[in-house]
Structure 1
Amino acid sequence: MSVHPVEILRFNTCGSVDDGKSTLIGRLLYDSKNLMEDQIEALERSADITGGGQINLANLTDGLRAEREQGITIDVAYRYFATPRRKFIVADTPGHVQYTRNMVTGASTANMSVVLVDARLGVIEQTRRHSYIAALLGIPHVVFAVNKMDLVDWREERFREIRDDIEAFLPKLGVLKDVKFIPISALNGDNVVEPSPHTPWYQGPTLLGHLETVHIASDWDLTAFRMPVQWVNRPNNPKDHSLHDFRGLSGQVARGLVKTGDPVMVLPAGIKTTVKEIWTYDGVVQEAFAPQSVTIRLQDDLDVSRGDMIVGLENLPGMSSDLRAHICWMNSRPLQKGKKYFLKHATQTVQAVVTNLDNRMNIQTFEPEPEPAELAMNSIGEIRVRTAKPLIYDGYATNRLTGSFILIEQGSNQTVGAGMLLPPTEPVRPEYQDFAI
């Protein structure tokens, strides 16, 4: 009997300060029985210090002393839990404007974003900011959890008012597809794990119920094979002579599906060959798909190294040194035209220069402000970059792995910007050639 692997859902929580993000995660862990006895005992011991005698569920994720003293989230905290239906990796991200870069970090690999909205305050700037970032990062599923409904007497009209305000600006974001609204009280647990008796007017799922059932299997694109080469695998085992001539190309399948015998192309050389074998940790397999990590042996002995990309022959990627991208700036020193950085894309790092700042996004209006002089920390804008060697890439909206990059400050090696590439103007057109001895 075959056993199907349990799906893993990665999601992040975001919202403004004191919207209840950490409390919500604590409630999910507590009510779904995902806490160890020592964790519960630690919560009870700290209750008199940080919770006024009441268990403070936020302490499960707010691990820094400064976070507990101020009652805010500063760093990204990751927690893992599971139910019989699914495993979860959750990132608790900060709400302060100055920690927007932390929110981008936590959400960059998420399948879902849970945006908390305080029922008393309604839609505020951070609601709009985090909604925009979720759309920019291409997160497929978004939940707006209207929290603290108990403080507005569980009024259905207040919930509908907030929902209407959000739906009014969603069309400006463009790419949010699966959006859900859930009224909750994270502190008391209403509609988090168990349905609330206070919302007879709400017929939808609880938050955990939605997390368990949202369809994520199709989030990975299984068309147009891509695999950036991470390293050339040459086992050095003198006791195993069968691997003496083994030469494999290892990496993570970033997009699509590949099978033994498939024709593929190695870029940037533009040489065509076929797949001889596909190896995983468990041995040889007949096919592999995103996001598996595999080692591929090619039929022909080609000169392939780290940073090259193996692709299918359909829907070829772009290849260019002149790139356009959205960027979230993460450094206290502003981004200005003409600055040089290292650009890390997939498995390679190249030198790059920012040739122009095309616009800066106004979070209040979702309208671009053209030709800004600079991008300050936590600003989001559109830039042009020229790299020292061409990148092989897809638009970020098509593929998050081959369409993203980071900018690294030369000298300090600090990550200063997270970029999302815009689609190439045309696919790569190398000189097609079949390999021949």
Structure 2
Amino acid sequence: MDTHLNDHHTPAEHAALRFLTAGSVDDGKSTLIGRLLLDSQALMTDQVQALQARSRTPDALELALLTDGLEAEREQGITIDVAYRYFATPRRKFIIADAPGHEQYTRNMVTAAAGSHAAVVLVDVTKLDLHAPQVALLPQTRRHALLAHRLGVAHLIFAVNKIDAVTDPGAAFAAVRAALQAFAQQAGLQPTAIVPISALRGDNVTQRLQAPWWDGPALLELLERLPVPQPRSDGPWRLSVQWVQRDGDGTGHQARVYWGRLASGSVRVGDTVQVHPSGELAQVVRLLHHAGAERPEARAGQSVGMVLDRQLDISRGDWLGTPGTLQAQRRFAATVAWLDPDPAAIGRRYWLRHGHRWVQGRIAAIEHRLDIHTLTPQPADSLGVNELARVIVDVAEPLPVQPLDGASPQPGALIMVDPGTHRTSAALLVEA
């Protein structure tokens, strides 16, 4: 097993783990989630009975039926929407996002990845040419792994599925693992683990696989001990204002409370605040939590209400932070995941959302498009759906963007919306 944990990841074994399943169509993502729910006893008796009644045979449960909730999903046999499921073991609580595998619904996979601590990318061993000198991975497997990495998902796990359906599972797993390791090295990924499973039969999902060629953990065992990334509480702090509340103190004085989630750092009563975009300075006189009680300090990841010592013109979408650290830019480089059926065009105007602020912007230049098969940069003057590229973005108003940080993603992530169709056209990830 290959394990990689960044220095700022601190173990939090009792914190809930949010993870998504990803991969190509019919790789077994929904079946894996059904297996986890069934084997962890997260299903009610009537749910199991209903599953048995809907399955072709009681002894071969169609576990994907537990998550494919939309009628269109059941008719087509594919996952369309992101399905969220919850279960717990004695060691930890889990929130699972079952992401679609079809290219048409890649935007939904991006949605699932945006809030996940880990990604389990399934690889269907039966779809691959195991006799080739080097096993070629499916494009959607590569795309989903790259997207999870670029979106700052902390842990990437490859689960080689349907290992029970090949004649020599040990050799098959070794060949696929070699291909995954070669892809990861080429793409600059550092997967947490590569594990064999059979989601349908349950091999190595919740109980370790008993085989001479595998001595590693079961998938659930691995998920139970993954550390949850903690936002950095050291260094400069910043907060995107989500809501401005007028808080009366009973004397007719109306103090303003600026609510939001601290993206990074820590702030204490008495600290100096700088406001973006005005640049004005003030001092923190009160910090509140959601119940209204006061606190002396707030740390990254916490929601907080902030009262300042002077009245300033601050509204939703403004940023508060350590003085001198909210460096705003009108032009910046970013990785773009293009999600719109309409191609991206240089110079076209879009709406961009950064934190809680909406501004107009445009793609000023496409530096290169990433070839999903060779992972080499290619020249491009437009982008099609599901393509990844490095672009230069111009915005109408300066934004305090920062290079994307998986522990504190908010300052480094934006979405781009088409003003005509109102579709989310792209996810933007700020680069240095």
Cα displacement string for residues 282-302 of structure 1 (whole angstroms, at most 9, x for unaligned residues): 311222223221111123333
Indicate which of 43, 52, 61 corresponds to 1:55: 61
Q: 1:33 aligns with which of 26, 41, 51?
A: 41
- Checking the alignment, whether the CA contact within 8 Å between 1:74 and 1:94 is kept in structure 2 is yes
Aligned 1:287-326 pairs, distance under 5 A: 287-313=297-323, 316-326=325-335
Identity %: 42
The residue type equivalent to 2:280 in the other structure is I
Residues of 2 paired with 1:339 and 1:52: CA distance?
56
- Alpha-carbon contact 2:13-2:227 (below 8 Å) kept: no
Distance 1:5 1:361 in 2: 37
1:249 and 2:263 aligned: no
Post-superposition CA distance 1:23-60 (Å, at most 9, x none): 00000011101112332232123124xx6873211011
Equivalence for 1:73: 79
Matched residue of 2:294: which SS? strand
Instruction: Decide whether aligned partners of structure 1 residues 11 and 221 sit closer, same or farther in structure 2, where only a CA change above 3 A counts.
Output: same
Distance 2:40 2:246 in 1: 46
CA deviation digits over 1:207-244, x for unaligned, max 9?
1111111111x4422233110111211136xxx61684
Letter paired with 2:208? P
1:131 counterpart SS class: helix
Partner residue in 2 for 1:220: 231
Match of 2:200 in 1: 187
AA of the residue aligned to 1:245? Q
Q: Are the counterparts in 2 of residues 135 and 173 from structure 1 also a CA contact under 8 Å?
A: no
State the Cα distance separating 1:201 from its structure 2 match: 3.2
Q: 1:23 is matched with which residue?
A: 31
Q: Separation in 2 of the partners of 1:243 and 1:21?
A: 58
- 1:263 positional shift: 3.0
1:138 CA displacement:
1.5
Contact residue 77 and residue 93 of structure 1 kept, 8 A: yes
Q: Secondary structure at the match of 1:247?
A: strand
Q: For the Cα contact (< 8 Å) 1:264–1:313, is it kept in 2?
A: yes
Residues 1:204 and 1:299: Cα distance change in structure 2 (over 3 Å): farther
Amino acid at match of 1:62: D
**Segment of structure 1 superposing worse, 119-128 or 225-234:** 119-128
Identify unmatched segments of 5+ residues in structure 2. 1-11, 129-136
Residue identity opposite 1:70 in structure 2: Q
* TM-aligned CA deviation for residue 113 of structure 1: 0.5
CA contact (8 A) 2:416 2:427 kept: yes
1:204 aligns with 2:216: yes
Q: CA deviation at 1:319?
A: 0.9
2:260 & 2:149 partners in 1: Cα distance? 28
Aligned to 2:344, the other structure's residue is in SS state coil
1:93–1:106: 8 Å Cα contact kept in structure 2? Answer: yes
Instruction: Kindly state the Cα deviation for residue 177 of structure 1 after the two structures are TM-superposed.
Output: 4.1
Q: Match of 2:74, as an amino acid? A: R
TM superposition shift of 1:164: 1.4
Q: Equivalent residue of 1:63, what SS? A: coil
1:103, CA displacement in angstroms? 1.3
Structure 2 length normalisation: TM-score?
Answer: 0.89
Q: Which moved more, 1:26-35 or 1:113-122?
A: 113-122
What do the CA deviations read for 1:232-262 (whole angstroms, capped 9, x no partner)? 11136xxx61684331110111122222233
Kept in 2: contact 1:11–1:89 (CA 8 A)? yes
Q: TM-score, normalised by structure 1?
A: 0.88
CA gap of 1:368–1:397, structure 2 versus 1, over 3 A, is farther
Aligned partner letter, 1:71: G
| SS of residue in 2 equivalent to 1:120 | helix
The aligned amino acid for 1:100 is T
Q: Which residue of structure 2 aligns with residue 124 of structure 1?
A: 138
Let me know the Cα RMSD of the aligned residues: 2.2
* Offset of residue 5 of structure 1: 10
Equivalent residue of 2:120, what SS?
A: strand
Change (3 A) 1:99 1:243: farther
State whether residues 330 and 394 of structure 2, in contact with CA within 8 Å, keep that contact through their aligned partners in structure 1.
yes
Equivalent position of 1:134 in the other structure:
148
